[in-house]
Amino acid sequence: MDNVDLSVLGKIGEWRAGGHRVVMGTIVRTWGSAPRPIGSVVAIRDDGHIAGSVSGGCIEDDLIDKVRKGALALTAPERVKYGISAEEANRFGLPCGGTLELVLEPVADHSQVGELSAALERGERIRRSMDMATGRARLEPGEGADRLVITEQSLVTFHGPQWRLLIIGAGQMTEYLATMAKTLDYEVVVCDPREEYADDWQIPGTRLVRTMPDDTVIALRPDSHTAIIALTHDPKLDDLALMEALKSDAFYIGAIGSRANQEKRKQRLLEFDVTPKQLERLHGPVGLKNGARTPPEIAVSILAQMTAERYGFRIPDPVPLAAAERVAAGCVA
């Protein structure tokens, strides 16, 4: 479940508190291309109001119509398919021949939706098991593979952050980066052993640790869903984190600083048994080269580069606009 779907859970709680009945739909299977991934949710209120999305809008319109006609006055979860034929696929805004399957469940106290929403607000990762006969749900810590499982008896879904971001340093830049990263469903861990920074850290939904950066990285055991970024400008802290991060499976490793400082940093890291091959993984200066100057702009550039790396894209350095205009005018080769 992504951050967009977290807002749907909030709406469900708000609507139920106002006395409305609510049906929640979860995508459990897709065939062919689909507008939204498996696990995405939509909520339909008893008067036709809707939150979330599972298609380009046509399926949502059909669900609203069903609610207004009383067809979704469910007492137990129900499985429905859309787009089984090419004609239906076209009608519901799916690729020709595409199909998706939803589980529609009437939300009740035993659905545990409110408890799930609260846990996600705390940044926790949750496994939700729902009985298909009764709709009764059970919440547990979300350990193991993030894979939705649907059977005739149950629906098992995983919720909360799938990706982790470790930031070294609790300064102003980190405040922007941590806040934005949370909206992209990262579990955010901030490491800073310096009291003058750590004591004032107040970003909700993040975890602050005061251990030394190298110990923090080792304890975190970075995997291919982990990003590590050093932002203190203090070699005694940043280098400690990087020397361990570069030896790990982290998918993204970055450090703030000028190109000149990055070259000095690389020379230092080579003295700590970091290999030239491992150094090639370091993004420094960190972030896309987009002219960013302010802390929030730099945070955007970092997350943009992280997103590209996460999905297997490498974006080349851009050409400054003035230079690009001169090239277009034929003034330079």
| 191 and 206, same domain (yes or no) | yes
Q: Is residue 322 assigned to a domain? A: no
Average pLDDT over every residue of 290-305 = 93
Task: Indicate if 22 and 94 belong to the same structural domain.
Answer: yes
Q: Which of 82, 4, 92, 89 is nearest to 43 (CA)?
A: 4
Same-domain check for residues 150 and 186 = no
Peptide bond before residue 35 is cis, with ω within 30 degrees of 0: no
d(CA 170, CA 316): 30
Q: What is the extent of the structural domain holding 54?
A: 3-159
Q: Is residue 12 domain-shared with residue 155, that is, in the same domain?
A: yes
pLDDT at 65: 87
> What are the residues whose beta carbons fall under 8 Å from the beta carbon of 217, sequence distance 6 or more?
166, 228, 241, 244, 245, 248
> Going edge to edge, which strands form the sheet with 252-255?
207-209, 186-191, 163-168, 226-230, 252-255, 282-283
pLDDT above 70 coverage of the chain, percent: 88
From 62-71, 74-83, 86-95, the region with the lowest mean pLDDT: 86-95
Q: Cα(first)–Cα(last) distance of the chain, in Å?
A: 49
Q: What is the CATH number of the domain that holds 277?
A: 3.40.50.720
pLDDT at position 95: 52
Length of the chain: 333
CB atoms closer than 10 angstroms to residue 327: 12
Instruction: Identify whether residues 56 and 184 lie together within a single domain.
Output: no
Q: What is the mean pLDDT of residues 87-104?
A: 69
Q: Please tell me which residue, 277 or 161, carries the higher pLDDT value.
A: 277
For residues 192 and 241, membership in a common domain is answered with: yes
Specify whether the backbone of 69 is left (phi greater than 0), alpha (psi in -120 to 50) or beta.
alpha
Residue partners of 332: CB distance under 8 A and separation at least 6: 323, 326
Q: How many domains does the chain have?
A: 2
Q: Is residue 332 part of a domain?
A: no
How confident is the model over 299-324, as pLDDT tens digits? 999 999 999 998 888 888 777 766 55
Q: Check pLDDT > 90 for residue 62.
A: no
Q: What is the arithmetic mean of pLDDT over 184-200? A: 93
Phi, psi of 229 (to 5 degrees): -130, 130
CA distances from 98 to 87, 101, 309 (A): 10, 11, 29
- The whole-number average pLDDT for the span 130-140 is 96
Q: Is residue 242 situated within a structural domain?
A: yes
- Buried b / exposed e across 140-171, counting CB within 10 Å, b at 16+? eebeeebebebeeeebebbbbbebbbbbbbbb
